[in-house]
Amino acid sequence: MINLCRVEEIRAAERAALAAGHTEADLMRAAGRGVAREIERAAGGRAGTVLVLAGPGNNGGDGLVAAAALQERGWRCLIWGYRRTDSGGAPIDAATADQFVWIEPRALAEAARGADVIVDAVFGIGGKDTLPPEVVDAFATVAAVRRERSTPVVALDVPSGVDADSGAVAEGALAADMTVTVGLPKIGLYRAPALRYTGILRLIDIGLPAPDISREAPQLITEQDVRAWLPRRHADTHKREVGTLLVVGGAPTYYGAPRLTAAAGARVGAGLVTLAVPRSLIAPIATALPEVTFLPLPEGEIGGAGARMARMIHEQIDRYQALVVGPGLGQDSPVDEFLNALFRVRTVAAGIGFGASTVAEEAQEFRAQAVLDADALNWLAKQSEWPDRLRSAQLVLTPHPGELSRLLDTEVDEIVADPWSAAREAAERFGQVVVLKHGHTVVASPDGTLLVAPQALPALASAGTGDVLAGMIGGLMAQGVPSREAAAAGVYLGGEAAILAMERVGTLGLVASDLIDALPRALAALYDARWGRIGG
Ligand SMILES: NC(=O)C1=CN([C@@H]2O[C@H](COP(=O)(O)OP(=O)(O)OC[C@H]3O[C@@H](n4cnc5c(N)ncnc54)[C@H](O)[C@@H]3O)[C@@H](O)[C@H]2O)[C@@H](O)CC1
Ligand SMILES: [K+]
């Protein structure tokens, strides 16, 4: 993890790097070259034409270094300057700078139309809260071309006009498709409204010292974290040892949801996934998911079915390391009865012995590890004092703002206005891990920590993506990953899978099952990276 930093912390880190012997030119060179690498990668290694909008300060300097690095790799570089007419101050050799083509304001539209990539390097963390009119005009020109031609816009460090602390956005700012952040993550980029302007976020290391991890600061979930949290298997293990997951859900009209959850649990590595669903759902699900096993439950309409369903789960619960409860359960009265019975008391047979004629039932607390999603959260919101009653369980709640508003008994608007505080309050009040799915999804824990997803992806606004997330988290918990880390890893993997799926199906075309298809590749990149290296 790495703290999301405020501007003053970034300036302090820069000063520390300079005091440690780096020069400003070193940092700018590292930043510009890193940005160029990200652009090349996004362009699939093909050289083209880049238009750099360069401002007067170090952000503009970084942009010119990036242009120089791209030029060395065969790119043609067009530069539009704001209060800048040359590459003065940027560490670029004169021969390279001589080949830059400087663009007059009236030629900007044509230059933008001829560009394969446009880089916003006008202002960075030294930006003010309004943009100058010339910059607003230039951005409007570029935005029109971006709409017409889908030309990708890359923001350098921050989209110009975004306040890197508060996330406020100046009138006329240019939305980017990718923001390459230099050195340390800026907290404002992860907040609304800035998050609507950043696109995909990439963080490049330029050797700035990161501030110490603190509980108060929101922390970014990084690739290194997730790699370290992933379960490790012994060669002589077997399917029950590497994670057994029970997914409880499904109603006659919702058999897609538990199916997605179970598939995600299996794809994230749980050795055995069992679906506890009404009997009539088994045939349609089994055809699509041959790997899962089933615990057939009685149909919901039959009187008293809820209590019987709960008893069947209790009889099996010790065979599973984690549960996911909720996907597609519905909200009718047998469901309430079922969840009351499942979570309130755990009845165990006592006094069974040879010749014993009576079977007493004893109430026990629900102690299992479980992800509670969707209709299980709606049920929970109707209960009183549940945080105390479920104190011995290890729960991960995965609400969207509407579900969290019911759980906290507050307005959705309040949650959306300050999602991080709402998630923290919920985790503290409930004593459980809370995953709030809004913007950059966050994982809040009762100990006060807040882990923030590296991406906020509009492609994930599609039915069933929440079921997939619940399945990934449950699947990781079943493999022994602690609940907070399982939640954060699930959130991270969901984002990576979405980015991979978007390469194939795009933002609008993405549906939840695309995430499951892409998940093995996202996992392989983290877990089996060594095979990639051996092979290539
Ligand atoms: N200083 C360093 O050591 C490093 C700087 N870096 C880069 O440098 C950036 C910060 O550089 P600077 O501190 O030079 O600041 P900026 O490049 O963000 O902008 C500073 C200049 O633009 C002017 N300006 C900003 N907003 C304006 C507005 N709305 N209207 C009119 N003028 C405006 C400022 O007065 C100043 O002259 C970072 O975002 C990053 O890109 C990084 O590469 C890391 C290392
Ligand atoms: K910028």
Residue 225 falls inside a structural domain: no
249, 327: one domain? yes
Residue 490 falls inside a structural domain: yes
Q: What does the pLDDT read at residue 330?
A: 85
Residue labelled with tokens 């949290």: 229
Q: What does the pLDDT read at residue 334?
A: 84
132 lines ligand 1 (CB under 6 A): yes
Check: CB of residue 238 under 8 Å from CB of residue 490: no
pTM for the whole thing? Answer: 0.94
Among 159, 192, 209, give the residue marking a domain's end: 209
The HSE-up count of residue 333 (CA atoms within 13 Å, CB side) is 4
3-state secondary structure 9-37: HHHHHHHHHHHCCCCHHHHHHHHHHHHHH
**How many Å separate Cα 528 from the centre of its chain?**
21
**How many Å separate Cα 513 from the centre of its chain?**
17
pLDDT digits (tens, 9 = 90+) for 63-100: 999 999 999 999 999 999 999 999 988 999 999 999 99
Please identify every stretch of the chain with a pLDDT value under 50, giving residue numbers as ranges. Answer: 346-347, 355-359, 535-536
Q: What does the pLDDT read at residue 300?
A: 64
202, 271: one domain? no
Number of H helices, E strands in the chain: 21, 20
31 lines ligand 1 (CB under 6 A): yes
Q: What does the pLDDT read at residue 301?
A: 59
241, 192: one domain? no
Among 147, 175, 209, give the residue marking a domain's end: 209
* Exposure string for 366-384, b = 16+ CB within 10 A, e = fewer: bebbbbbbbbbbbbbbebe
180 lines ligand 1 (CB under 6 A): no
Q: How many domains does the chain have?
A: 2
82 lines ligand 1 (CB under 6 A): no
Residue 196 falls inside a structural domain: yes
Q: Which residues contact 141 (CB under 8 A, 6 or more apart)?
A: 108, 109, 112
Residue 141 among known ligand-binding residues: no
Q: What's the CA-to-centroid distance between 410 and ligand 2, angstroms?
A: 37
Residue labelled with tokens 């880190």: 13
Rounded-to-integer distance, Cα 506 and Cα 499, Å: 9
27 lines ligand 1 (CB under 6 A): yes
Residue 19 falls inside a structural domain: yes
500 lines ligand 1 (CB under 6 A): no
Check: CB of residue 105 under 8 Å from CB of residue 138: yes
159, 239: one domain? no
Amino acid at 184: L
401, 266: one domain? yes
Residue 340 falls inside a structural domain: yes
258, 129: one domain? no
Between CA 125 and CA 132, with CA 126 as vertex, the angle to 5 degrees is 115
Residue 447 among known ligand-binding residues: no
Atom of ligand 1 nearest to the CA of 125: 39
Domain hosting residue 376, numbered range: 235-345+364-524
Indicate which CATH number applies to the domain containing 170.
3.40.50.10260
Residue 108 falls inside a structural domain: yes
Residue 60 among known ligand-binding residues: yes
Rg (CA), the chain: 26
257, 293: one domain? yes
Strand order in the sheet with 322-325: 2-3, 219-220, 450-452, 442-444, 433-436, 394-397, 369-372, 322-325, 244-248, 272-278, 293-297
**417 token code pair:** 């206005």
Rounded-to-integer distance, Cα 163 and Cα 129, Å: 7
Residue 228 falls inside a structural domain: no
- Ligand (nearest to CA of 176): 2
Cis peptide before 193 (omega within 30 of 0): yes
Residue 357 falls inside a structural domain: no
Among 175, 209, 243, give the residue marking a domain's end: 209
Rounded-to-integer distance, Cα 322 and Cα 477, Å: 6
Q: What does the pLDDT read at residue 304?
A: 75
Between CA 506 and CA 136, with CA 139 as vertex, the angle to 5 degrees is 145
Q: What's the CA-to-centroid distance between 130 and ligand 1, angstroms?
A: 14
204, 257: one domain? no
508, 386: one domain? yes
Atom of ligand 1 nearest to the CA of 24: 3
Q: What does the pLDDT read at residue 525?
A: 93
Q: What's the CA-to-centroid distance between 178 and ligand 2, angstroms?
A: 11
300, 265: one domain? yes
145, 291: one domain? no
272, 181: one domain? no
Indicate which CATH number applies to the domain containing 413.
3.40.1190.20
Between CA 441 and CA 510, with CA 420 as vertex, the angle to 5 degrees is 20
Distances (CA, A) of 217 to 267, 421, 449, 456, 530: 33, 12, 8, 19, 33
